[in-house]
Amino acid sequence: MTATLPPETGAAGASAEPPLAASRPALAQDWRRLVRMGAVGAVAQVFIALSNMPVRLDERVIVKPVLSLGYLTLLIVPFAAGHRVGHQIKREGMPQHAAGAHEVAGGAACGAVAGGGLSLLAVLLANFDLREPLVNWSPMLAELLAFGNATRFAVVIWLLIGAAVGALGGGLRLLGPRTRRAVVTMALAVGGAAVLEPLVVDLAEGMRLEALTDRLYARRGGINWTSALGLAAGSGILAVLGRGRIQQARAHIAELEGAQRTRTNGLLILATAAVLIVLPLFAGKLTNELLANVGLFVLLALGLNVVVGLAGILDLGYVAFFAVGSYSAAVLTAATSPRINPELPWLVALIVVVIITGLVGLFIGAPVIRMRGDYLAIVTLGFGEIIRLLFLSDWLSGWFGGSQGITKIPGAGIFGLTDVAGTDPRRVFYLVLAFCALAIYVSWRLERSRLGRAWMAVREDETVAEAMGINTVNVKLLAFVVGAVLGSFSGAIFSAKVGSVFPNSFLILVSIVILVVVIFGGMGNIVGVIAGSAVLIGVLGGPKQPGLLAEFSEFKLLIYGALLIWMMLARPEGLIPSVRRSRELHQQEMAQDAWLKGQVEDDNHDDGGSGPQATPAT
């Protein structure tokens, strides 16, 4: 919506910076809020410590001798608490206090309380044995908390660390917006370089640039501290220099007129495609494997996006279509399939798979489509589970192999040119890429058609859509089927890639992970959905597939759950929202803003539409 509003708001002055009052004295804290936030932080700290994250992630070094991912998980909490406690609620017309010693002191106190959780834990670890229910109640954890020293040391050091890190968090508020952006960029650059380490090393090997990565990364993982400093400095300088450039460029593109804009967009798409085609050539097997996995989930997410994002149907059993696609492709192509084994070529099988999945989509969709949204969600979940249980059952094991699954599935042959199998992840990636392009094209075209508009209307108000002559049942059913077919592509590629299918690859949690990915990126927005799945699946990994942070595999589902809650609370429209979705979720606030800025017409001064008084049309 900001794109449609000009930056200046004229006399209304709603967005003008409110006057800054003097900063508050350091000790005039809102102690209740501070202690509450600190306590939440302490609980989070103890939870993280007992979840074994610090111990398991200690092996992944971020900056060579200084910081490991394990310690980072512990440090981030007091930092966030210290930063958060200095947050002022902006009230219209009320003066904002300038940030000062107050924020630093508050952050330090809050961080100390949060760190105190670990101090307490260290004492408890030394004196009680709760290993019975809590599996991670270990001497190793105690040792990690005390840095190898006595318990007393741990108590003091975590209070101090908490206070220091909390003060840093609060201190972040002292920085001007420009400096803060530079600092954030620096942190992101170092963190990103550390997270992307396997990818960068692999690519550098492919391009024969080992010298570069040898300098950047330490021998056994992690960035050298010297390189980290250099990287931070470089990115900081870039951030300061490049300030606003990106935004300017974006604004520039947004201003372009029809044909020119289409051309720019086309160029951007071509460039992205070129990078995606060239990149795998330099990448090793592991990176290509990762890219292929990410691609598979992008494809699934694009399919679910049609159902959830465009038509607004919350389908929790989306994995069913993935499963049906995989199994039918397996049955049609594998010689080892128990009952029927026509051993069709993959492309021919794919056509049959699409038909079968489309029919299954109709079969599942028809009974649920008239239900209330939330009942529909639960029932689709039930269908997803029933389908898995049927594949698993002895009853149908004569067809689908029961818990043994179907193995030795041949790769996907494309016109006899190549054979795409899991042994060559690069080819898998190209195949996935082609289908992703197809899925993007399909969702893009459909969204801008009569059908897409009907989906939108159904999402907005089903009763009215029906009254305006839209056959809501058919339209929703079609969304369901389109989603099912896109999911089946993914399934067919999956079975060819892995070479075997088992019922346990299709647990409900796969549905939920895809849903998280779609919501994280931004429902209804193709770019958002792609970015969301690339980031989440790439970094954390899919339900069974490792990501860049392979050490996270035990914790990724926990993080997916937490992420889903947090997204819903803080940013339900996703990271890259579709304009429409964010309108839907923030309609009231936007209407209010527009009113404050004089953008909403006044009934009493409706002048016959010569344009809004306060602002020119965009």
Partner 1 sequence: MSATNGTPPAPSTGSPTNGDGHRPLLETRDLSVDFGGLHALDRLDFEVHEGEIVSVIGPNGAGKTTLFNAITATVDVSAGDILFEGASLMGLDANRVTARGIARTFQNVRLFANMTVLENVMVSQHCRTRQHAFGALFYTPSFRREETEIRERAEKVLSFFGSRLVGYRFDQPAFTLSYANRRRLEIARAMATQPKLILLDEPVAGMNPVESAELTGMIGRLRDEWGFAIVVIEHHMDVVREVSDRVVVLDHGTKIAEGDYAEVSTDPRVIEAYLGHGTEAS
Partner 2 sequence: MMGIGRAKSGAPRTGVDWFLTFMRVAILTLVAVGILAFIAQEIDTDNPFARWANPDATGLTGAQFRGLIISGVAQGCMYGLIALGYSMVYGVLGFINFAHGEVFMVGAMTGMITSNKLADAGLWESNFIGSLIFIVIVSMIVCTLVAVIMERVAYRPLRGSPRLIPLITSIGVSFFIQNASIVLLGPAAKAYPDVPDWVKDKHTFIQIEGSRILVVVVAAVSMGVLWYLVEHTKGGKAMRAVAEDAEIAALMGINVNRTIVKVFAVGGAMAGLAGILWGILFRSVIHTTGFLPGIKAFSAAVVGGIGHLGGAMAGGLSIGVAESVGPLLILEPLGVSGVSQLRDAVAFAVLIGVLLLRPAGIFGERLPAEDRT
* Interacting residues with partner 2 (CB under 8 A): 47, 50-53, 132-136, 314, 316, 366-367, 369-375, 377-379, 381-383, 385-386, 389-390, 392-395, 462-463, 466, 471-474, 477, 508-509, 512, 515-516, 519, 554-555, 557-558, 560-565, 568-569, 572, 584-585
What is the rounded CA–CA span in Å between residue 422 and residue 428? Answer: 7
The total of other beta-carbon atoms located within 10 Å of residue 66's CB is 12
- Nearer to partner 1 by Cβ, of 24 and 581: the residue is 581
Is residue 468 at the binding interface for partner 1, with CB under 8 A as the rule?
A: yes
Select the binding partner of residue 453 from partner 2, partner 1, none (C-beta < 5 to 8 A, by kind).
partner 1
SS3 224: coil
Is residue 456 at the binding interface for partner 1, with CB under 8 A as the rule?
A: yes
Tokens 């696609």 found at: 325
- Beta partners for 97? 21
Overall residue count recorded for the chain in this entry: 618
- Nearer to partner 1 by Cβ, of 274 and 355: the residue is 355
- Nearer to partner 1 by Cβ, of 252 and 448: the residue is 448
What is the rounded CA–CA span in Å between residue 60 and residue 194? Answer: 9
Strands (E), 500-585: none
Backbone torsions φ then ψ of 549, nearest 5 degrees: -90, 75
Select the binding partner of residue 500 from partner 1, partner 2, none (C-beta < 5 to 8 A, by kind).
none
Is residue 471 at the binding interface for partner 1, with CB under 8 A as the rule?
A: yes
Among 464, 527, 558, 562, indicate the residue that binds partner 1 (CB under 8 A).
464
Is residue 448 at the binding interface for partner 1, with CB under 8 A as the rule?
A: yes
Backbone torsions φ then ψ of 54, nearest 5 degrees: -60, -45
- Nearer to partner 2 by Cβ, of 132 and 257: the residue is 132
- Nearer to partner 1 by Cβ, of 396 and 457: the residue is 457
How many residues at the interface with partner 1, by CB under 8 A?
Answer: 47
- 522 secondary structure, DSSP code: -
Query: For residue 97, what are the CA distances in angstroms to 126, 332, 517?
Result: 44, 69, 38
Closest separation between CB of residue 4 and partner 1, Å?
8
Query: For residue 259, what are the CA distances in angstroms to 181, 248, 254, 273, 280?
Result: 35, 20, 12, 21, 32
Select the binding partner of residue 44 from partner 2, partner 1, none (C-beta < 5 to 8 A, by kind).
none
What is the rounded CA–CA span in Å between residue 248 and residue 253? Answer: 9
Closest separation between CB of residue 324 and partner 2, Å?
16
What is the rounded CA–CA span in Å between residue 30 and residue 581? Answer: 37
- 6 secondary structure, DSSP code: -
Question: Position 64: which residue type?
Answer: K
Query: For residue 467, what are the CA distances in angstroms to 463, 473, 584?
Result: 6, 13, 21
- Nearer to partner 2 by Cβ, of 298 and 515: the residue is 515
The total of other beta-carbon atoms located within 10 Å of residue 286's CB is 15
Closest separation between CB of residue 92 and partner 2, Å?
21
What is the rounded CA–CA span in Å between residue 143 and residue 94? Answer: 50
112 contacts 77 by C-beta, under 8 angstroms: no
Among 587, 589, 592, 613, indicate the residue that binds partner 1 (CB under 8 A).
587
- Nearer to partner 2 by Cβ, of 178 and 370: the residue is 370
Closest separation between CB of residue 457 and partner 1, Å?
5
Among 580, 596, 598, 614, indicate the residue that binds partner 1 (CB under 8 A).
580
Among 463, 565, 569, 570, indicate the residue that binds partner 1 (CB under 8 A).
463
What residues make contact with partner 1 under the rule CB under 8 A?
441-442, 445-446, 448-454, 456-457, 460-461, 463-472, 478, 482, 580, 583-584, 587, 590-591, 594, 599-604, 606, 608-611, 617-618
